[in-house]
Copies of this chain bind each other. A is one copy, B any other.
Amino acid sequence: MIIMLKPNSEEEKIQKLIEQIEKKGLHVQRNNGVDYTVLALIGDTAGYNRSSLEVNEIVHKIIRVQEPFKRANRLFHPHNTIIKIGNHTVGGDEFMVIAGPCSVESEEQIVGVAKQVKASGAQYLRGGAFKPRTSPYSFQGLEEEGLKLLQIAKKETGLPIVSEILSHDKIGLFMDNVDIIQVGARNMQNFQLLKELGKVDKPIMLKRGMVATIEEWLMSAEYIMSEGNPNVILCERGIRTFENFTRNTLDISAIPVVKRLSHLPVIVDPSHAGGKWWLVEPLAKASVVAGADGIVIEVHPNPEEAWSDGGQSLKPKKFDRLMREIEVLARTESKTLLPKKEVKSW
């Protein structure tokens, strides 16, 4: 941490400030510049309460130097984290593809989609059972019943299940029924939920909050990791900006930035980022070559009848075509995809 003092600060007050900081176990190195005096705080400042320093009348500005995340920080863990899920891995050579409908609607729907996306090469099935909706008048999900239908689809296809949790009192239910627990953008800073998820060992897919900086996102990963669960998969899904032609603005740069700052796997959700089905293909492809470890795609057999998010869902046929393009691009990044299993007539 760097503290820049006001010009002409009294020497006595500077000494008092230095003492106050050193009392907390930090070492202070002092630089007398031309216009400013600067104090550099040496030691572990991650837990230091910076806010209290700002009240000091001789302080002009405080600048943090150290990143506040540790376990998620690549500086102290240079190798990529590779997470094992069933027969698959994420963060290594395999390119992760999660596909499925926004909401689980019926057994027929979810089993049907599961078979189709598997045939196209997806390794995981997604489906919402508990839905966080902006309006109380919108469909809120089939809840527990939805998780049961996902289990049926898993039995039929073998695909591991990804589904979103909304509150910590449902963790037991999710431990029994899903393979990757998703924390949605709106819950990225639901710290109680994060802490409880840190106490289990399931992989957690942590979506970036709509307004979260990359640093805050990594701090939320840190919440989970600091409780003991190292299996965090980051998922970029677009941030909110002034541009509102698109639902959100996909922050494609977040992929290489996260890769540089952290060792955790990072995947992309182009469906929520763009909010329109015709944006899914270009955004998915861009994510692959920007270095993502995987993608999450909304697929629905009949988007015009979908109970939620129909406008951003791909039909199985379009998804299959996209998978063929992804396959080619993943190879240019030295990543592999599951081979297409069977020829189907859509």
A positions within 8 Å CB-CB of B = 2, 4, 6-7, 29, 31-36, 38, 40, 42-44, 46-47, 49-56, 60-61, 63, 65-66, 68, 75-76, 132-140, 166-169, 186-187, 189-193, 195, 209-211, 213-216, 219, 222-223, 226-227, 239-246, 249-257, 260, 273-274, 276-279, 282-283, 285-291, 303-313, 325, 328-329, 332
Contacts and interface: CB of A to CB of B under 8 A. Distances in A.
Contacts of A61: 65
Contacts of A251: 241, 243, 249
Contacts of A219: 134-136
**Residue among A51, A52, A253, A328 having the largest count of chain B Cβ atoms under 10 Å:** A253
A94 B124 CA distance: 38
Given A195-B136, A252-B252, A290-B285, A213 B53 contact: no
Nearest to A249: B251
A282 B278 contact: no
Nearest to A210: B211
Tell me the number of copies of this protein.
4
Contacts of A32: 42
Nearest to A215: B245
Contact of A239 (B2, B52, B241, B291): B241
A56 B310 CA distance: 10
A245 B214 contact: yes
A38 B1 CA distance: 10
B191 A132 contact: yes
